[in-house]
Structures are given as C-alpha cells and as structure tokens.
C-alpha cells in the first residue's frame, strides 16, 4: 500500500484487501465512509478529490455455466482514477474502470465503463454528458 505525502483518507473508511494493492497520489482526498475492495489493484492519481461514500469494487464475480457466483470465475482487473479527477458523493466504480485525467463524476453515479480524460459523466449507469476540453 502506498499513500503519498499530503494524501488524506477521511475517517470511517474501509479497505477490504487480499493484497496491499492501493496507491493514492500526492494531494488526493478521499471523503468519509469510503469502501474500497482491493481484489484487484486500485490506483488513485495525484490531486484527486473524492466525496463521501465512495465505493470501489476492484473485482467481478462472473459466475460459471450453471449460474453459480460462488464457484464461478472472479476477475480482478482493478480500478484506476487519473490525476486531477473530481468524484461527487456516493459514486461507485466497478472493476475494470479507468477514469482519464481531469474527469468529473456526478454524485450517485455508478461507473461501469471507462471514462475518457476531461469528460463529465453522471447517472446510473454513468454516461458521458459532456467534454471539458
């Protein structure tokens, strides 16, 4: 686990980790009540601001041929948040998501797919609603 200088994780946040695969960049802030599941690697860039109630699920249970999620395959691709992103309160990021640099994610969004740099995304599931640049 690497938490850089001047990074801050607010109280009552939880890390669920099989391996120490969390990296938090310099000057990044994670608000209270975050839950970060570290089945896969999670990288949070520099200058990232994250509101309260973040959920990161860095693994996905894909199930097997008989529909069982208990014995089925589990992917652990991970989640990456680029530098200078801003995430509102109660955002959920699912396994395999990459947020490019400078993204803004609206409060309550469930991000199921990667978001290009300098995009604003919101909704359930999250969709790009505009480009910043």
Residues identified as active-site: 61
DSSP for 21-42? -EEE-TT-EE-TT-EEEESS-E
- Count the Cβ atoms, other than its own, within 10 Å of residue 21: 17
How does DSSP classify residue 106? Answer: -
Nearest to 43 by CA among 24, 59, 27: 24
**Rounded to whole angstroms, what are the CA distances from 31 to 14, 53, 68, 74, 86?**
11, 7, 35, 28, 11
Helices (H), the chain: none
């Amino acid at each position: 686990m690497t938490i850089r200088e001047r990074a801050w994780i607010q109280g009552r946040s939880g890390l669920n980790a099989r391996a120490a695969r969390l990296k938090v960049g310099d000057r990044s802030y994670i608000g209270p009540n975050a839950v970060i599941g570290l089945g896969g690697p999670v990288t949070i860039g520099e200058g990232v601001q994250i509101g309260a109630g973040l959920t990161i699920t860095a693994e996905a249970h894909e199930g097997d041929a008989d529909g069982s999620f208990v014995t089925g395959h589990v992917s652990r691709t991970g989640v990456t948040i680029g530098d200078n992103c801003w995430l509102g309160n109660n955002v959920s990021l699912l396994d395999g998501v990459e947020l490019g640099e400078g993204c803004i994610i609206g409060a309550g969004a469930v991000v199921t797919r990667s978001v290009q740099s300098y995009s604003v995304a919101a909704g359930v599931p999250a969709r790009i609603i505009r480009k910043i640049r």
